[in-house]
Structure 1
């Protein structure tokens, strides 16, 4: 060109930026005789897309010193960089500059600020800014709803969505994705399925991003049939879509299905990442598939993904559940960096394999490494104390639990109840159980089983009655424990009531319940019903022989 102006220079810089060739774009930018706001914004946007957020901030500040006036795009880019870096302090400084220039009222800058504060975990500031915005477009609404999802403020996000619909704002792809995340966080299956219908009505049925978010919602709401149906219906699958279905199956204890989907992923040209691999290892752990786990471990080593903490954690968990403790320890020892999950995995592996002294030594090492224990750590350690009846250690850990503020956590509370029960400290177990604000099936079973094990059947039945009064539905373990107390007390009347409830809940085919019913009726002298249940009992491997021996022994004793 015999003559070049700023427009032609900008066009060339923008072209190289669009192609991702930042070195050439930067050298052309430096060669420009003059630069305007478009020149600077083009280069800044290129580095933002390249992921070099520090360079974005540096260029933004250099741009200001050069005398070029910022526009809304300049602020949108730099605030996005602050969001990615989760650097609120720098973001606040840029917010101040926008206020001084009178640009903070711009809807695009306002949306970028709402997004920045939310991603920096300053949701209150994000919501305050959003409420003060005189104009709110689709991007602003999407930013604030996404912020609620990212900060686990699920109800607040859904309330804002209702407001958004009342304002007549059209729902975007990113808003749908965030809403499905909100539903997943609340396990709001019904609302999630209605939202799915809403997305289909708005012609988003073939959208892979929305499809993946919907699939993840169904999986987290424990509805894997609908998740799989949706997966099969999508015209295209990306890696995130495969990851959602694999992890969903693993979380819902469907290990075989998780491995089948991972196999399908391997046959595609999408490759796999640490999330896919972690989900597959969890699938192996579910089915105790040691040989499958070994093959996956080889694949992980070959792909160099074993250096990623979440993958190494999943491998330790898999080996622990497959009773390969030596391999689990080897993986743990080779880890360069460890987080709380790593320590939890190795502690649980030892506890699950009956090595009850090691969890305590690992717990001490974890504290020395300045890793803060969480509820899963305390759960595994207290289980180990219960198994070896290490009451002194258990009481020390109980004190630490109280100091950490987890004393009322249902999971930790249940393991404390179980530990004190197995250490024959029923009074302490009762205190903890009664103080728990949230009681679930695990905690009820722990206290009922504890009294039953201590031959205090009356107390076990008393807690069973309390459980029913609070509207908690018993499971097969609860029924088996209480039937055992009926057998010990020869209270056939209560036993028959429980039997009727079992039939109503269609649990009579459960092996443990069948054995408990046979024992209860025989010990209460009702051999006819005992024999009838034995004849109808599920014949599963060794259990039918155990039931048969139990019935013959009872018949001989009570005849």
Structure 2
């Protein structure tokens, strides 16, 4: 109840008989971070600096670092951390997480090493974050090293740590190790099931994914949208229509409200399996405010050679006010090149130069491909005309 906490704190601040102490501030800072109220956090920062509390209380300072991180003010969080004379595990975790969330995974792993050199013992939060960094970097060797450190600690059976291990091994395509960690887990939460399913999904192994799904249901674990999305991705990658329909049937029978990932993956699955009508039905039921939904339909039509349907959908997309992006243009320009409609391709290119999409490498590649196809076609026509003209001349002679 972050709002209520801050309201109470404001009343407390004007109360002449009671003042906040070092136990109050961490809770208030947590509320600021939870609500994303960076201005309140900065005001509190100024107050704490004037009162001399930041230099004397590591818990309060660590909480302020956490508040800045929650508000995605990573630079402020890291700068404050660098100025701390005394640190605790919580602030190390916050800074490691800052680097990870900012996409600086190598830096997160560097901070992990510095934390250990400084004599701090990593906890479950630390290991979960650094294993996630290894997964994002696809750094299997570093992940194995961290796994070795875990073998010597009491955190090997922590659910979040094990799930991160499974996820890391899965993303690094080391499924035997992922399975070994997963099967040793005494309690398997839906997070760990999802990590394992996602690992097989990356390989397009729909058989193993569905086997895991059946086990998950038997053990009474309720699948999430992430579970279902990973299952459908596996079926789509392997063009496994039968198992894909099984998952779709589960979604319908259990009144699961599909999100955009499930909807678009279903469309992709049906297109890959040449079930255009099924893809159309899924598309009709989806909200059409997101360009991704239109892209997957247009791309599917183009892949199957239904170029006129792709053009119709492209026109409808613009009519409802959804702005095409680079992926849309790439698909529709491919259709132009296949139909030989250079004029229409030029018109599409001209219409979206203002959106600066012409500088996109993918769009430029599609444009070049269209022009190349047109030029080759024109040259072929000219050669054919020359051939027949020559023979006609021979005949007349």
Same fold, judged at TM 0.5 (above): yes
Q: What is the Cα deviation at residue 177 of structure 1?
A: 1.7
Q: What is the Cα deviation at residue 361 of structure 1?
A: 1.2
Q: Choose from 450, 475, 478 the match for 2:328.
A: 478
Q: Tell me what 1:15 maps to.
A: none
Q: TM-score, normalised by structure 2?
A: 0.79
- 1:477 & 1:233 partners in 2: Cα distance? 45
Q: Choose from 322, 329, 342 the match for 2:192.
A: 342
Q: Tell me what 1:391 maps to.
A: 241
- 1:408 & 1:305 partners in 2: Cα distance? 35
Distance 1:521 1:232, change over 3 A: farther
Q: What is the Cα deviation at residue 522 of structure 1?
A: 1.8
Cα-to-partner distance string for 1:445-497 (whole Å, 9 max, x where unaligned):
32222122122233334444454555555554333323322322334455345
Note if 1:320 corresponds to 2:170. yes
Distance 1:394 1:244, change over 3 A: same
Cα-to-partner distance string for 1:84-116 (whole Å, 9 max, x where unaligned):
xxxxxxxxxxxxxxxxxxxxxxxxxxxxxxxxx
Q: What is the Cα deviation at residue 502 of structure 1?
A: 6.6
Q: Tell me what 2:35 maps to.
A: 182
Q: What is the Cα deviation at residue 338 of structure 1?
A: 0.8
Superposed CA RMSD: 3.3
Q: What is the Cα deviation at residue 360 of structure 1?
A: 1.3
Q: Is the 8 A contact 1:406 1:412 kept in 2?
A: no
Cα-to-partner distance string for 1:116-167 (whole Å, 9 max, x where unaligned):
xxxxxxxxxxxxxxxxxxxxxxxxxxxxx33xxxxxxxxxx38x85798699
Q: Tell me what 1:300 maps to.
A: 150
Q: Tell me what 1:414 maps to.
A: 264
Note if 1:203 corresponds to 2:48. yes
- 1:498 & 1:161 partners in 2: Cα distance? 53
- 2:90 & 2:326 partners in 1: Cα distance? 37
Q: Is the 8 A contact 1:204 1:210 kept in 2?
A: no
Cα-to-partner distance string for 1:200-250 (whole Å, 9 max, x where unaligned):
34336944244233233234xxx6455544544555443222223323443
Q: What is the Cα deviation at residue 396 of structure 1?
A: 2.3
- 2:44 & 2:378 partners in 1: Cα distance? 63
- Whichever of the two has the greater Rg, that structure is 1
Distance 1:277 1:293, change over 3 A: same
1:307 match: secondary structure: coil
Q: What is the Cα deviation at residue 521 of structure 1?
A: 2.3
Q: Is the 8 A contact 2:204 2:235 kept in 1?
A: no
Q: Tell me what 2:211 maps to.
A: 361
Distance 1:488 1:254, change over 3 A: farther
Note if 1:215 corresponds to 2:68. yes
- 2:96 & 2:110 partners in 1: Cα distance? 9
- 1:360 & 1:428 partners in 2: Cα distance? 21
Unaligned ranges ≥5, structure 1: 1-144, 147-156, 184-191, 526-552
Q: TM-score, normalised by structure 1?
A: 0.58
Distance 1:472 1:389, change over 3 A: same
Distance 1:211 1:165, change over 3 A: closer
Note if 1:194 corresponds to 2:44. no
Greater shift after overlay, 192-201 or 513-522? Answer: 192-201
Q: What is the Cα deviation at residue 419 of structure 1?
A: 1.8
Q: Tell me what 1:403 maps to.
A: 253
Q: Choose from 273, 280, 295 the match for 1:423.
A: 273
Unaligned ranges ≥5, structure 2: 55-59, 383-397
Q: What is the Cα deviation at residue 321 of structure 1?
A: 1.1
1:523 match: secondary structure: helix
Q: Is the 8 A contact 1:347 1:381 kept in 2?
A: yes
Q: What is the Cα deviation at residue 180 of structure 1?
A: 1.5
- 1:200 & 1:334 partners in 2: Cα distance? 46
- 1:404 & 1:240 partners in 2: Cα distance? 41
Q: What is the Cα deviation at residue 401 of structure 1?
A: 1.1
- 1:345 & 1:473 partners in 2: Cα distance? 34
